[in-house]
Amino acid sequence: MAHPLLHWRYLTREAGHRWKRTALTVFGIAMAVTLVLLLDVLGRAFIDVSTLPFKSLSADLLVQRSATKQALPDQMGVILPYSAQPISRTEQERLANEDGVSAANGFVLLWNLGRGRFYTISGLDLAAGPPYLGPAKIRDWMFKGRIARPASHEVVVERHYGAFYRIKPGAKVTFNGQEFTVTGVVDIQGGGQFVASNFYMDINEARALAGLPPDAVNQVFLKVANIDRTEAIKKRIAGWLPQASIVSSGSMLQLFGGISQVIGRFHGIAILGGALAAAALIATLLSGAMAERRKEAAILRTVGWSRRQTQRQLIGEATLQGLIGGALALVFLAVALAALSHVELQIPASMGGENPASFAKGAFQAPPESVALPVSATIWDWLLPPILAALYCAATGLVVSARLTVGSLWRTIRG
């Protein structure tokens, strides 16, 4: 009569007899698997948060040119920011034709450093059609009133700024001695506040305020065809555009700092490191648990079990522990997802030093936007852990049991 592959009754009896060791091993496997799962889930969540502002702007890169040196402005009033100096028409065309770039839009960003309030102005081509990138998205975000018209001395105001200073449609505002009429209020959505301005007007009128040539801009938003090539395109542009300052989702991760930046920027490396640590922990737990079975394995062989049959039994026990540990890890993951879904991150209204309000005492500061950490698990996060844990424990059990069943029975029992 052929022996069964596994003696299930003996397996369950042995697990219950050494229940403390079994519980410790299963719990350790579950914690190790949960560690890897959370690193993956958190990495994806931080990446999603960092790309949220760009998704809302339908762009992937913001290209600007920094000044060669920082000094006090030659004149007060409406000026170009130090971080956004002119980009020529030729450079705009090269950016738009960069390999991997599917769309590009240029804008004019201005600061007011004159008397009274500090504020920012964005100039956009109000007559242009889609695709709408960057500040051009305000067409979709009108909260009240209507969009300004080209060459009409009209502007729209950002909602928070307008509420702070009680600026409503129909109000008059003055820039460099020129009067403009407020025609609407725009509500920036989905993390786009980090590049929001206080006022929006026709690009040619913005150029006239700053004394720029008719075709110059100082901000270019780019849409990348393949998101995976974003950083490569960023490096290429930095290689040929003098004093390039390029903001991407990777730049946004720096705003969160700490562990979020590490997990988000080095997602793959973090998972690999966590997986190696988890594998080492599981191997240690299984080796310790199976080492206690050395004498029992020898006794089983003295009562007629073959070396292969004994080894199969030990591998089966390790596999079952891995399967249960992997299933328990899913319970831990569900609890962690429920807890992490209540965590909120603050997306600042601007990059550090990118807005005069950052260093102007008493100036209007747009409030940071709170977003819930977008944690989620895929179908593979629920299916693979028990299977992979069981397979790894089986492989570990194979290696460890092979060492346990080597040598004479008497030497093993006496030892």
Q: Which of 72-76, 158-162, 255-259, 303-307 has the highest mean pLDDT?
A: 158-162
Other Cβ atoms less than 10 A from the Cβ of 303: the count is 6
Between CA 186 and CA 143 the distance in angstroms is 5
Predicted local confidence at residue 196, as pLDDT: 83
Structural tokens at position 262: 């590490």
- pLDDT for position 354: 60
Q: How far apart are CA 293 and CA 39, in angstroms?
A: 34
Residue 3 has pLDDT above 60, yes or no: no
What is the three-class DSSP state of 217? Answer: strand
Q: Is the pLDDT reported for residue 399 higher than 70? A: yes
What is the rounded CA–CA span in Å between residue 282 and residue 288?
A: 10
Cβ partners under 8 Å of residue 253, min gap 6: 46, 47, 50, 260, 261, 264, 265
CA distance to 133, 168, 184, 281, 372, per residue, from 46 (Å): 23, 37, 34, 27, 11
Most confidently predicted of 100-109, 183-192, 289-298, 303-312: 100-109
Q: Give 1's pLDDT tier (boundaries 50, 70, 90).
A: very low
Q: Which residues contact 294 (CB under 8 A, 6 or more apart)?
A: 404, 412, 415
Structure-token pair, residue 114: 């004159």
Question: What are the tens digits of pLDDT across the range 104-128?
Answer: 999 999 988 766 678 889 999 998 8
| 354 or 169, which is more confident | 169
Nearest to 66, CA basis, from 48, 81, 55, 46: 81
Highest mean pLDDT among 36-40, 78-82, 190-194: 36-40
- pTM for this one? 0.72
- Predicted confidence band of residue 406 (pLDDT cuts 50, 70, 90): low
Residue 404 CA, chain-centre distance (Å), reads: 46
Q: If you average pLDDT over residues 6-11, what whole number do you get?
A: 58
In this structure, which amino acid lies at residue 395?
Answer: A
pLDDT in tens, 366-385: 666 677 788 889 999 999 99
Crossing angle of helices 258-265/267-291, nearest 10°? Answer: 90
Residue 148, classed as helix, strand or coil, is coil
Residue type, 377: A
DSSP string spanning 60-76?
A: SEEEEE--SS----SS-
Type of residue found at 391: L
> What is the residue extent of each domain of the chain?
8-50+261-414, 61-247
